[in-house]
Amino acid sequence: MTNVVKFPTPPLRPNLEACRQAIALCEGDPNMLLFVAHLGVSLVHEKATHGDPEQALVDRLAISFLALAELLGVPSLAEALL
């Protein structure tokens, strides 16, 4: 048996300003960026304590994506993909 997840209509977009702020807190530290990327993916299954849970999920994944892009040295390319 599989779980089929229906995509929301309209599609959710990450809150890029909040995501950028989360990445800025790392101050370019590779250990912090890797930690933030790991947490973003790990917390996907946790319900948000406030606000829209689906938006929180999208934001967490976007933060992970941006943190990894920062580590790889391509942050502007990553934002273009979001």
Q: Is the pTM of this model over 0.75?
A: yes
Check whether 4 has a pLDDT greater than 80: no
Check whether 82 has a pLDDT greater than 80: no
- Say what the pLDDT of residue 3 is: 74
What is the helix, strand, coil percentage profile of the chain, to 5? 65, 0, 35
In this structure, which amino acid lies at residue 41?
Answer: V
Among 23, 25, 27, smallest CA distance to 37 is for: 23
Check whether 68 has a pLDDT greater than 70: yes
List pLDDT tens digits, range 15-60: 999 999 999 999 999 999 999 999 999 988 887 778 888 889 999 9
